[in-house]
Amino acid sequence: MSSREVIVLSVGGVRFVTRASTLQQFPESRLARMVNDDDREFKLVNGEFFVDRDGALFSYIMDFLRTLQVSLPTDFSDYQRLQREAEFYGLYPLAKLLSQEHLLKPRPEILEVRFSLQELQAFFQLFGSCSATIEALAEQITVFTGQQSGQGWSSPFSSQKPLVPLPLERPSHHDMVFRCGTEYSAGDQFVARYVSIKPDNRKLINGTNVLGLLLDTLLKDGFRLISTRTVASEEKIECYTFERMKRAPGLAIMVNQTPGSSGVAQARRSQVQKGK
C-alpha cells in the first residue's frame, strides 16, 4: 500500500484525492500509518479509505498537510473542534498551533476618514491601523492640478491646459492627506485640484462627490462603516470610522525531513497570506 502514489479518502462522505507523500508528512501520524497499512480503524472500501469523521474540517487538515501552514478563513470559529480532529489524526504539531487560538484569530483593521469644507476647497485625511491598506489606497488615489478661468466647484477644466498629477502628502506610513476644489491664483485665474479614485476614471473637483466615491470604494473593499461624528471645532471636521476583519498571518511548520523524524517542529510566522 505504501507504494501507491495516489490515495483516495472518503471522510464523512466528502471525497479527497491526494498523494501518499502528503499524508506521510508526519510519519507518526495516523494518516501516515494508514498509508502504510498500519492502522486498522481506517477501512479500505472499493479502493477508498473510509473515515467516519467531519469532512468539512478535514479540508483544513488537508490544506495544512499540503502547505505546512495554518491559515483559516476570517469567519472560522471551530478552533476547538479542529484541534480535536488534529489530535484524532495524530497531527500534534497542528493541534499545538490550533491551541494558540489568539495567534490565528483575525484582527479588526480600523480606518478613519476625516473630511472638512473650507470655502471652495475640501480637505481629506485618512488614518489607518494597517499601513499596507494606506499604501494600497495611495496607489488608487491621484490628485491633478491645473488652472482654469472663472470660479466654482463645477467649472470644467480646459482641455487645452493638461492637468498635472500631484503626489499625495504622507505624514507617516499610517496616514495620507489630499484636497480638491479651487483656490485664487491671479486675475480671474484659479488653481483647480481634481481627484481620481481607481477603478473609477472620473476626475472630480467637488469635495462632496469625492467623499461619496471614497466611502463607496471602502465599502466595496470589505470595510463597514461603524461610526460617524463631527469634531467640535471651527472647521467642523466630519469623521467616518470603518472596520474590516484582517486575516491573521499564517502560522507555518518547519518539518525536519531527516529519516526517523517525528515531524515535531517549531512554528514560525509566515508572511504569506491567503486571500484578503
- The CATH number linked to 25 is 3.30.710.10
Assessment of whether the complete model's pTM goes beyond 0.85: no
Per the model's pLDDT, the better-predicted residue between 163 and 112 turns out to be 112
Grid look-up 498500519 returns 38
Residue ending a domain, among 82, 105, 128, is 105
The answer to whether 187 and 224 are in contact (CB under 8 A) is no
- 21 lies in the same domain as 10: yes
Whole-number pLDDT of residue 215 = 97
Grid look-up 488653481 returns 191
Residue 250 inside a domain? The answer is no
Domain residues for the domain of 140 are 108-245
Residue 251 inside a domain? The answer is no
Distance of CA 94 to the CA centre of its chain: 23
Confidence of residue 190 (pLDDT cuts 50, 70, 90): confident
Whole-number pLDDT of residue 160 = 47
Give how many domains the chain has, as a whole number: 2
Q: Which three cell numbers stand for residue 35?
A: 498509508
**Got the DSSP string for 15-82?**
EEEEEHHHHTSSTTSHHHHHHTT--TTSEEETTEEEE-S-HHHHHHHHHHHHHSEE---TT---HHHH
Rounded to the nearest integer, the mean pLDDT of the chain is 83
Of 182, 184, 201, the closest CA to residue 192 belongs to: 182
Residue 266 inside a domain? The answer is no
The answer to whether 2 and 36 are in contact (CB under 8 A) is yes
pLDDT digits over 10-35, tens only?
999 999 999 999 999 999 999 999 99
The dihedral over CA atoms of 93, 95, 98, 99, expressed in degrees to the nearest 10, equals -100
Q: Which three cell numbers stand for residue 196?
A: 481620481
pLDDT digits over 203-223, tens only?
999 999 999 999 999 999 999
The answer to whether 177 and 134 are in contact (CB under 8 A) is no
The dihedral over CA atoms of 127, 131, 133, 137, expressed in degrees to the nearest 10, equals 70
Work out whether strand 69-70 and strand 251-253 pair parallel, antiparallel, or are unpaired: antiparallel
pLDDT digits over 127-136, tens only?
999 999 999 9
Burial 104-117 (b: 16+ CB within 10 A, else e): beeeebbbebbbbb
Per the model's pLDDT, the better-predicted residue between 100 and 200 turns out to be 200
Share of the chain above pLDDT 70, in %: 80
Residue 274 inside a domain? The answer is no
